[in-house]
Amino acid sequence: MASETASHFRLRLRRDSNAVIAWFREMWTRRWFRILGYLAGAGLLAILLLWVAFARNLPSVDQLRDYQPPLPTMVRDAEGKPVHSYARERRVQLEYAEYPQLLVRAYLAAEDRTFFEHGGIDYPGIVTAIITNLTNSGRPVGASTITQQVAKNLLLTNEVSYTRKIREAILAKRIEAALTKEQILELYLNEIPLGRRSFGVQAAARAYFDKDVDQLALHEMAFLAILPKAPETYGRARNAGKAMTRRNFVLSEMYRNGWITAAQRDAAQAQPLGLTNSGNTAIAQVGGYYMEEVRRQLIDQFGETPEDGPLSVYGGGLWVRTAYDGKMQQATTNALRRGLIRYDAGKGWSGPIATIEADGQWQSRLASSFIGIDYDQWRIAAVLSKSASAARIGFANGDTGSLPASAAQLGYRKSGGPAFSALRPGDLIAVRATAPGVYQLKNIPEVSGGMVVESPHSGRIYAMQGGFDVRLSPFNRATQAERQPGSTIKPFVYAAALDNGMTPATMIVDGPFCVYQGARFGNKCFRNFGGSAGSGEHTMRWGLEQSRNLMTVRTASQIGMEPIVETIQTMGIGKHEPYLSTALGAGSTTVEKITNAYAMLANHGRELKPRLIDYAQDRRGKVIFPKNWRPCQGCNMKDWDGKPMPRFAKTGKQLMDPMTAYQVVHMLEGVVQRGTAVRLRDLGVPLFGKTGTTSGPKDVWFVGGSPDVIAGVYIGFDQPRNMGGYAQGGSLAAPIFKEFFQGSLMDAPPVPFTAPKGIRMVRIDRQSGRRVYGSWPGTDPKAAIIWEAFKPESEPRRTIREDEIKPIKTQKRSNGPAQKGSSGRTDTDFLDDRGGII
């Protein structure tokens, strides 16, 4: 039976197969069946060709799961407040849950009402669009769903063609299969272009209303929802009518879908657009030389654009914490600008800032020049035309005004005539309003300079100003300008001397000093400032306080230039040649470098690295710079655990003997109390510092500060030239520091400089350097007896001789006229400045 069953089963299969084949042959003889077969084959072939033509090389949808849009870099100040951003596009990335549901529904009403129902393609909408396009010869219209828009924006191009629409539809189906509806909406709301260089709804909310998405009113949500259709049309003030019509349509659609009530619709439709032109005020956008220097450093570290890497400045979404102090920066900017204006006052008009073509495109030319200014309501204007009585001027925003000839009577430096006569159409000038539509000519100082403010505890740079305005000149004179430091180098000359056996009380001759330079050059004779030949023997302290060149160069000759240039290089000032003129500031350095060197003096000789950036994080919060960054353990505890508070360990190498560094600082306190920076004494707080004036004079300096803040400033022409014989560090640079200090630090409690372990404070006679017994220093800065700092076993020896115990009586100084040939000065006068190369 088994055998018969198996045989029967095989016979049955063979019979069925033959029956199917026979049936197919029989049906193929019929015409209508053959037509259906051909159509089916053609359909399969079409699907194959469609895949080859459109779907084969489409981008992978998988990249959307971990999609990282290009985001701007955000900069925070020392307190963590956002103050600047580096962006060529406005972008802010939010999670779907952070968007208000009413805002999401506004976009669904405007763009894709059935988004949560379809599978990525709106087939009825496609049919409608095809019919419209067949009957319309204009720009093709589409029926893109939100999913299709995501595909276009993130994976395809903006090409207007049916080919792109087919590829878009295929990708939309794939996206729907790979992502949830919420994920698709999140991508859409974060990436949709909405005008004003805004990508994403949060960025647009800031650009159009200066609000975050959770602060938007209903009518504002509806306006943002109309922007995907035509952002450059609806976002312009001249098209407010079209925008209102479209916005009110979206509000009606929201009501029709049951998402808002009739009362909400009517109230929102009655509202004006309410657009703002103020931009994003949530970020101060302080800009300036400080932020430009931060940008340079970030670009060097991470690259500029997304093509340079995933952490680029203009695409990586970095969060950067800086040492920026807004109050100090404002004080620094104001002090330097006013100092430049004071020096430049009375010298006349220096000429146009730049020139452009004064044609019909003047506004765009002026705007694209990126020249601007933010000082005292000054504005940059272009001269458009000129008559005998006034010039017509225009601004980058399209406004125009009048510059009367009477308001431009500054003398033109090149010709001597009035500035108005020298004005030509196309000149870019600085002006200030005196009445509505009427302006007065202002002058940008021709002289420039740089200033840096630094912490002597950490090297953090609180403030930086590299010129009058970064939009007038991006060259940062605080970090890029190599200038001769003049007498600001002298503290390091004396530091080398202190390390080689001398003390602040060592007597040094202030007298003629010449060096034989060979048969060709003969003798090189040095001079003090003002040309004096010297005033006898004085202490090292006095020589530094009064910035005596002859005493400095004699000291350098005595100990040799090798240890001096080694000290200068070790302190990061620069690599200088071992010539005697180097001891008077003949080398070159930057404001940043020498300010950091003074900060290390105040830091007891310990190494500091000047830095603007504390740390940088990627978009997910991971610290990526500096590479050796470590969090402070226990610093952010909610409650005190009873253990000692966290303390930062000292970092950096010991570059100078801490006792030597303190001795120099202690002597530099005398520069403020009775020396070349005496005008700072009335600030009434412990300060140290040194003025400097280079030969010419071409540059004037002041570097110094308090135990907590060090600042350095110089003034000079970009192409060095004589500033005038009256120009001195004490009279031009020190007042800038004083104004900075008054504007930012006068409220801080005074802090004294602290001495390191081992320093011995000894009473000495200020003039002779001898040790004093039985008398005590007074409060008068010019008192005969002072406290002096000595290293162990270096202080003046004890004595029983009466003439060495009692202080020397100071000779009464004459206030009579100077002797002939002294240029109106005497060696005993406390000059504002006596430094530099002579």
Return the SS3 of 39.
Answer: helix
Strand ordering across the sheet containing 688-693: 461-465, 448-454, 710-716, 699-705, 688-693
Residue at token pair 């022409």: 717
Total Cβ atoms within 10 A of residue 755: 17
Query: Among residues 111, 186, 220, 607, which one is catalytic?
Result: 111
Q: What is the DSSP letter of 497?
A: H
- Whole-angstrom distance, CA of residue 699 vs CA of residue 498: 28
Q: Which residues pair with 322 in a beta bridge?
A: 613
Residue 363 contacts by C-beta under 8 Å, 6 or more apart in sequence? 394, 396, 398
- Answer whether 733's CB lies under 8 Å from 706's CB: no
- Chain CA centroid to CA 446, Å: 24
Helix axes 561-570, 549-559, angle to 10 degrees: 100
Query: Among residues 312, 487, 535, 581, which one is catalytic?
Result: 487
- Whole-angstrom distance, CA of residue 614 vs CA of residue 637: 21
Return the SS3 of 525.
Answer: strand
Is 232 noted as a catalytic residue in this protein?
A: no
Strands (E), 644-798: 688-693, 699-705, 710-716, 760-765, 785-790
- Whole-angstrom distance, CA of residue 722 vs CA of residue 585: 17
Is 111 noted as a catalytic residue in this protein?
A: yes
CA dihedral 259, 263, 268, 271 (to 10 degrees): 180
- Whole-angstrom distance, CA of residue 556 vs CA of residue 552: 6
- Whole-angstrom distance, CA of residue 507 vs CA of residue 542: 9
Residues in the chain: 838
- Whole-angstrom distance, CA of residue 165 vs CA of residue 156: 10
- Answer whether 694's CB lies under 8 Å from 837's CB: yes
- Answer whether 711's CB lies under 8 Å from 451's CB: yes
- Chain CA centroid to CA 583, Å: 35
Long-range contacts of 741-748 (CB under 8 A, 24+ apart): 741/680, 741/683, 741/687, 741/705, 741/711, 742/683, 743/330, 743/331, 743/334, 743/335, 744/325, 744/327, 744/328, 744/330, 744/331, 744/332, 745/328, 745/706, 745/709, 746/683, 748/706, 748/708
Q: What sign has the CA pseudo-torsion 524, 527, 529, 531?
A: negative
Strand-strand pairing, 198-199 and 90-91: parallel
Q: Which residues pair with 524 in a beta bridge?
A: 515
Positions marked active-site: 111, 487
